[in-house]
């Protein structure tokens, strides 16, 4: 808001491009801001659906929180505007799309060590920033991570379900794979749920599937509560050490996000990656 005036954005400022997907409240398109040529993603939310399903105050609060989060690994909400029927969110466009697709299209369906280490560092950094801004439970899982033009991760905090019968897990939308024990036991939870999810995420990066994956929901829950997991032979010792310090039943014993970033297995690759 230079010179004290707030610029009034409107749909006229943008040229709408291809359809990117749809969420529970609306759909997302790539768009080009006309005066700069800058590519963004515009998420159109229908007021009718929002008013029906959540109170407007909560919606405004969520948009307020999102627009203040500024971190290189968190998808930016640049601005928003509305007309009589819709709310438009002007979001950062991650040109390399969904991380999940990169994972399943990798040669062995899993990331090499250096990539897993780079990505887990970036996720830990983004989530630590969220915690410092009193935002928790960012729903960390591959479906909620995007890759930008430079190959860096963006925590996207999707509000959307899959838009096409893609190669995603069937149970994707309600996947239990990332639930920590305290949430299965419906106990009170705190920021350390995110630490658990980062442990599950790192395992999935290196193995290509989450540690407690089972065909039945109850089987998955039982495995989570029993910490019933095995590491394939190719998972390096350093990564096993880090995962085992995050997947702890007692949330207080889980490694801090700073310690994740400083862990020797992550640091070993950080120099190469940065």
Ligand X SMILES: COc1ccc(C(=O)Nc2ccccc2)cc1NC(=O)CCSCc1cnc2[nH]ccc2c1
Q: Which chain residues interact with ligand X by CB under 6 A? A: 20, 23, 25, 28, 41, 43, 45, 50, 59, 62-63, 66, 75, 77, 89, 91, 93-94, 97, 146, 156-160
CB 273 to ligand X: min, Å: 22
Which lies closer to ligand X via its Cβ, residue 197 or residue 207? 197
CB 218 to ligand X: min, Å: 31
Which lies closer to ligand X via its Cβ, residue 160 or residue 203? 160
Which lies closer to ligand X via its Cβ, residue 59 or residue 184? 59
Which lies closer to ligand X via its Cβ, residue 156 or residue 260? 156
CB 53 to ligand X: min, Å: 9
Residue 193: Cβ within 10 Å count:
21
Structure tokens at 164: 């096409």
Residue 100: Cβ within 10 Å count:
22
Choose, from 139, 194, 241, 258, the residue flagged as catalytic.
Answer: 139
CB 216 to ligand X: min, Å: 30
139 is catalytic: yes
- Nearest Cα to Cα of residue 8 among 114, 101, 88, 85: 88
- Nearest Cα to Cα of residue 229 among 213, 214, 212: 212
Which lies closer to ligand X via its Cβ, residue 174 or residue 232? 174
User: Quick check: 161 and 99 in contact, CB under 8 A?
Assistant: no
Indicate the pairing of strand 145-147 with strand 86-92.
unpaired
Structure tokens at 46: 């229908």
Structure tokens at 224: 């989570």
User: Quick check: 69 and 129 in contact, CB under 8 A?
Assistant: yes
Residue 103: alpha-carbon gap to chain centroid? 14
CB 33 to ligand X: min, Å: 14
Q: How far is Cα 59 from Cα 50, in angstroms, rounded to an integer?
A: 8
Q: How far, CA to CA in Å, does 115 sit from each of 145, 149, 187, 238?
A: 14, 16, 34, 14
Q: Would you please indicate which residues are annotated as catalytic (active-site) residues?
A: 139
């Amino acid at each position: 808001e230079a010179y004290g005036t707030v610029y009034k954005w409107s749909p006229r400022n943008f040229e709408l491009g291809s359809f990117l997907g749809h969420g529970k409240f609306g759909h997302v398109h790539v768009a080009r801001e006309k005066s700069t040529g800058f590519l963004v993603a515009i998420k159109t939310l229908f007021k009718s659906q929002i008013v029906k399903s959540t109170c407007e105050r909560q919606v405004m609060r969520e948009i307020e929180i999102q627009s203040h989060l500024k971190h290189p690994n968190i998808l930016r909400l640049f601005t928003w505007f509305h007309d009589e029927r819709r709310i438009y969110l002007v979001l950062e466009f991650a040109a390399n799309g969904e991380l999940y697709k990169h994972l399943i299209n990798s040669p062995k369906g899993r990331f090499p060590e250096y990539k897993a280490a780079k990505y887990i560092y970036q996720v830990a950094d983004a989530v630590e920033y969220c915690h410092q801004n009193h935002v928790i439970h960012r729903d960390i899982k591959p479906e909620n991570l995007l890759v930008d033009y430079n190959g860096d991760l963006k925590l996207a905090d999707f509000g959307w379900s899959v838009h096409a019968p893609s190669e995603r897990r069937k149970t994707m939308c309600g996947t239990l794979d990332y639930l920590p024990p305290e949430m299965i036991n419906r106990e009170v939870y705190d920021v350390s749920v995110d630490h658990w999810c980062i442990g599950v995420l790192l395992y999935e990066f290196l193995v290509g599937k989450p540690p407690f994956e089972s065909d039945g929901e109850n089987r998955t829950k039982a495995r989570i509560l029993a910490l019933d997991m095995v590491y394939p032979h190719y998972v390096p010792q350093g990564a096993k050490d880090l995962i085992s310090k995050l997947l702890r039943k007692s949330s207080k014993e889980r490694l801090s996000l700073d310690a994740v970033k400083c862990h020797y297995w992550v640091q070993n690759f950080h120099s190469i990656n940065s």
